Chains A and B, each alone.
Chain A
Amino acid sequence: MKSGNIYMDNCITTAPAPEVLVEMKTYLTDGFWFPASFISTGESTAEAVASFKQTVADSLNASPDELHFTSGGTLANNISIKGVTLSRAVRGRHVICSVVDYPDLLTNAAFLEKIGFEVSYLEPDAQGRVSPQQLKDAIRDDTVLFMTTIVNHVVGTIQPMREYRDVLRAAGHKIHFHADACQAYGKLPLDVKELDVDTLSVSAHKIHGPQGIGALYVKHGTKLEQIIHGVKRIDGLQPGGIGIALMAGFAKAVELTFADLEGGIRHLRGLSDYLLEQLEARIPEIELNGPRGEGRACHNINVSIAYIEGEAVTMMLDLNGITVATGSACASQGLKPSYVLLAMGKNHVQSHGSMKFTLSRYNTREEVDFVVEKLAEITAELRSRSPLYKSTHPEER
């Protein structure tokens, strides 16, 4: 195949499905009205919104009245974390999360510390997994919230949600359980009743829906302090307007993803297994970051390539029409290596040489072959320039 646009950075955002765009167009033209009573335009929108809500709620086994549209996953996380801690501050001011959580959770934790909460940060093992025992040990009488990222955004590690649930159930007092499911949504089955979470956030643009829309599941009976105030158009938790077309696009993306979730997962698992197998076969001295097989999400492969630096690799791949991500400090805005890899015990060199491939249903085996072929060429070229490689491989002078 020729050099074209191969996109393997789907954990950041995904291409909107063509069907999603068609669906959205209707609501950008004829059906743009906000929900209202007694007038036909508003009533038809209200019906449409109810059906979008039903679709998204069904994908999580939630009731539609437990599902709140928000302007994205980050907003959903904020509404939940700030909402629950503010409403329960009288009960206690202790929160638990882990050092490998998504920045949404960690920046909220930092904010909570600033306003007088105490936060316990759990540490991951070498695979990025945070043990339920650590959670058990961290729980105090004044713990009001445990929040976790179901699928790690860097290495794809799936956290032991059922074990967490059991620990929290046995805690002796109510601890709010919040899950950031943005990376997990559409990559593994999520049943809010089985997980027994109190709140859970998802995002549309990670599953080929539009950017700018997400949802927050809030279990019946959960009290969240209002953190955004304003006129109610669509939802009480996020006042103000939320795009109807975005909801339509979200619901369509959910329909497409969940029509055959298991088939989709199987496809991604097969493709990422093949990618890893090819990488390990074609590139010497490469190591997988995070767990192998079932312990990681089906769309994520993260490897460290020894002796070379990730920004250079990313740029060379980009010049070949391939988009991937790296954990190199040189490629980050803050010039810092990946905090997730460091927390897993990897060193700076492993982080600098780390490459993350996140696949979607639009990726093919042919694309994987092309990417691995190019990456093998680039690795050989950059290693030929690398003093680290030369000093450890004197025979290749």
Chain B
Amino acid sequence: MLRDRWKTDTAAPSLHSAGKRAGSLAQPQSRASNGLDQFFSSIKDETSLSILDLAGASQDNITFITSLGHRIYSNDILRTLEEAFGGNGDFVQNQSDPERVAFFLKESLNFPDQSLDGALVWDTLQFLSPSLLQQTVDRLCQILRPASYLLAFFHAEEKAVSAPLYSYRIAGPRSMSLLPRGQERPARYFNNRSLEKLFQNFDSVKFFLTRDHLREVIVRR
């Protein structure tokens, strides 16, 4: 999937470097987010929580979350995806290799069970192949505490060949800025039914469909 695009783009040997280059030139777009609002409303009366941010470290997200008195765990899961499944062999087929999958889960979600109080996954899940996606979601379910929330985004425009790849920056409790990092083809598109199936081990799933074809999903553990 990702490899096919890179074959035609010699200047972009990896998702990570392509994203960095695109992000350095593009202007951020601001938008409101009901999912973000719901996520932070659920923890507004609490402090010293452990929040996972899988979009990679950014000053905005770190400042916002730590200013609420929480601890933030940062990781760039797309970069880990490239490290785990890039190199020799087919990128998609590598995502079925048990050793590589174990490495990916260890590098990206190596936390004790029920140790996190919330997860900001953004749109990263849609770029994982189906078998890897289910293992990743199961692992997220394990490391989140009961009654905690996970926020994920899925592009809803099924006819699109590729979806915009963003770096998500929190601007406020209900707003964020999206810094474009290029285009990427999701591994698959999700409707409400397939998302409910994906998060079937969680307590509840709530959707917000936005005007810009981004389906915001807030999931309660």
B partners with A: no
Question: Interface of B with A (CB < 8 Å)?
Answer: none
Residues in chain A within 8 A of chain B (CB atoms)? none
